[in-house]
Amino acid sequence: MARLPHALREGIRLLDVHTHIGVSPFLYLTHAFPYCQSLRDAHDQNLRAGVSHAVVFPMGETVYYHLPSLAKNQIRAEGGLGKVPFAFENEHLLRQLYEQFPGCRRNFIPFVMVDTLRETKAQARFLEKLLETWRFYGIKIHPRTTHARIATLGREGRPLLEFARAHDLPFLFHAAWPGSADPLSNIQELFVLARAHPGLRFCGAHFCSFHLPTWETAARLDNVWVDSAAMTIGCECVRLKNGVYESGPSKVPADYRDPPAVFAELARRYPDTLMWGSDNPFHTWVSTQRLSSGKWSRCRLWSDLEREVELLRDVRGALRRKVAVENALRFLEG
């Protein structure tokens, strides 16, 4: 069991399990928004919005990748910066937290980010060294941005899995429902890993894409949790029927014009599985992408941290404590 230190654990009233800092080279190079956030900005927003603690990790890609390829949404793992994937981003985050802004330490629970497909042995060795200097409490994986499907953690990513086991660190995956256009993040592969490794803990981000059968499976697994990251714009996607999330008959029944009502329904159905998370700053998503058809797709979805906190509006008492704090502590500490 991995206990958070007392100084970090005391005074937890609202724990955001999903916050990013740093820079996303891909989003920057493709003129998307947001593409960066500093630790201090995230800290100040948290104080204003009443978020007492936040799990924080880097953004989606690493400067280890070859930047001209990344701008074309291709991953080439040579010609970039740093010793291994995410070496720069992980060290940067921990230096910001422990050296540059130690006043922020009581607000943040740092996770590191990994690439589950490339240089995984060397990444595990690097993280082992990093842990001698600075503590971190979990591992974030983004299968879509690293172009490495979830299942690779059990294969090429095995050294990272064993590193997590040795230090009792949980995994938080960006995840999507089986009907998604993103097969790399298919949450079914997370369920396979969770069954194969009952001693490890897993979170699938993004509310199972509102897909009811996926929620039912997640809720049956004791070592799986699900977060609400970017749920306000998620409800907007359902209303737009843009295909990002389930918007047909298999969605969790609720009024998607009212995101807090959707969150309350998920909390009622899955009181031990749901964890509140904002995805700050990616509660907002603005991008312009050229599709393979040659057409341009424009996406403008706006939220802010206050609106993500507002998701908890209708959840009170012991249930609020569970989804706002206690489930996250079980995920973090075991």
Question: Of 128, 120, 105, 95, which Cα lies nearest the Cα of 54?
Answer: 105
Choose between 56 and 117: whose C-beta lies nearer to Zn ion.
56
According to DSSP H, which parts of 35-157 are helical? 39-49, 67-71, 87-95, 120-133, 143-146
Smallest distance from Zn ion to CB 306, Å: 18
Question: Of 112, 205, 120, 179, which Cα lies nearest the Cα of 155?
Answer: 120
Smallest distance from Zn ion to CB 30, Å: 17
Smallest distance from Zn ion to CB 17, Å: 10
Give the span between the Cα atoms of 267 and 61, in whole angstroms. Answer: 32
Choose between 19 and 214: whose C-beta lies nearer to Zn ion.
19
267 touches 274 (CB < 8 A): yes
Question: Of 172, 225, 221, 227, which Cα lies nearest the Cα of 198?
Answer: 221
Choose between 246 and 279: whose C-beta lies nearer to Zn ion.
279
Binding to Zn ion (CB under 5 A) within 244-303 occurs at 279, 282
Choose between 37 and 159: whose C-beta lies nearer to Zn ion.
37
Strand pairing of 296-301 and 285-290?
Answer: antiparallel
Crossing angle for the helix pair 187-196 and 212-220, to the nearest 10 degrees: 10
Choose between 65 and 282: whose C-beta lies nearer to Zn ion.
282
**278 exposed, middle or buried (CB, 10 Å; 0-12, 13-18, 19+)?**
buried
Choose between 260 and 277: whose C-beta lies nearer to Zn ion.
277
Could you give the count of Cα atoms lying within 13 Å of 41 in the half-sphere of its Cβ?
10
**Which three-class secondary structure state does DSSP give residue 310?**
helix
Smallest distance from Zn ion to CB 252, Å: 20
Give the span between the Cα atoms of 326 and 320, in whole angstroms. Answer: 9
Smallest distance from Zn ion to CB 19, Å: 8
Smallest distance from Zn ion to CB 142, Å: 7
28 touches 71 (CB < 8 A): no
227 binds Zn ion, rule: CB under 5 A: no
Smallest distance from Zn ion to CB 304, Å: 15
Size, binding site for Zn ion by CB under 5 A: 2
Question: Of 8, 11, 16, 12, which Cα lies nearest the Cα of 309?
Answer: 16
Smallest distance from Zn ion to CB 228, Å: 11
Choose between 142 and 159: whose C-beta lies nearer to Zn ion.
142
Instruction: Determine the distance from the C-alpha atom of residue 204 to the mean position of all C-alpha atoms in its chain, rounded to a whole number.
Output: 8
Binding to Zn ion (CB under 5 A) within 81-100 occurs at none
Quick one: which H or E segment has residue 33? none
Task: Name the CA dihedral angle for 60, 173, 171, 80, rounded to a multiple of 10 degrees.
Answer: -20
Nearest to Zn ion by Cβ — which residue? 279
Smallest distance from Zn ion to CB 280, Å: 9
Choose between 159 and 228: whose C-beta lies nearer to Zn ion.
228
Choose between 17 and 94: whose C-beta lies nearer to Zn ion.
17
Contacting positions for Zn ion (CB under 5 A) = 279, 282
